[in-house]
Amino acid sequence: QVQLVESGGGLVRPGGSLTLSCVGSGFTFSSLAMGWYRQRPGKEREFVAGITTLGGDTNYADSVKGRFTISRDNAKNTMYLQMNSLKPDDTAVYYCNAGRTIYGVILPSDDYWGEGTQVTVSS
Question: At CB < 8 A and 24+ separation, what contacts does 41-45 make?
Answer: 41/91, 41/92, 45/95
What is the dihedral angle through the alpha carbons of 96, 97, 102, 103, rounded to the nearest 10 degrees? -100
Contact 14, 87 (CB under 8 A): yes
Q: pLDDT grade, residue 71 (50/70/90)?
A: very high
pLDDT of residue 114: 98
Convert the pLDDT of each residue in 81-110 to its tens digit.
Answer: 999 999 999 999 999 999 999 999 999 999
Convert the pLDDT of each residue in 48-65 to its tens digit.
Answer: 999 999 999 999 999 999
- The three-class DSSP label of residue 108 is coil
pLDDT of residue 47: 98
Residues 6+ apart with CB under 8 A from 12: 18, 86, 119, 120, 121
pLDDT of residue 78: 98
